[in-house]
Amino acid sequence: MNDIGVWVWWLVGAAALGIPLVVTAMPEFGMLAVGAVAASATAGIGGDLVVQVLVFLVVSVALIGVVRPIAARHRSTLPQLATGVDALKGKQAVVLERVDGSGGGRIKLAGEIWSARSLDTERAYEPGQEVDVVEIEGATAIVI
């Protein structure tokens, strides 16, 4: 260890921690690698081994204790993008052919012609009226 500086060994350790980070996609390994880089910097400026280990531990634990919960919170609050027929729910459509509870009517929804039926079986919608899509069942839009 006399020929190679201690700071180099810390960098080797950081790189070694980067391998399981890439393989397992566990961010904790990356946080430990950052701790090793901080310890390497401490060794580079002349800190003794005890200080280097303390810097490694403090930085690693701080990252795991602070960054990880923040990242988990952001991951769980990402907006869910509706795609496919789920994106059509809540959209407005124009009635092209009379729509009632029995089906057989037609609407123009998102630029396409859809078969439609009324959610309320007692209610009918005439051509030209605007309706809201509440559900899609197969190729039929359920409207109110």
pLDDT digits (tens, 9 = 90+) for 98-144: 999 887 899 999 999 999 999 998 999 999 999 999 999 988 999 99
3-state secondary structure of 29: helix
Region class of 111: left (phi > 0), else alpha (psi between -120 and 50), else beta: left
Give me the residue label for tokens 């990356």.
30
What's the maximum distance between 2 C-alpha atoms anywhere in the chain? 89
Q: Other C-beta atoms within 10 Å of 37: how many?
A: 19
Chain segment 55-86, per-residue pLDDT in tens: 999 999 999 999 888 888 877 775 677 788 88
Q: Residue 78 belongs to what H/E stretch? A: none
Do residues 110 and 91 make contact, with C-beta atoms less than 8 angstroms apart? yes
Q: Residues 98, 99, 104, 106: is their CA dihedral positive or negative?
A: positive
CB 63 within 8 A of CB 31: yes
Counting every residue written for the chain, the total comes to 144
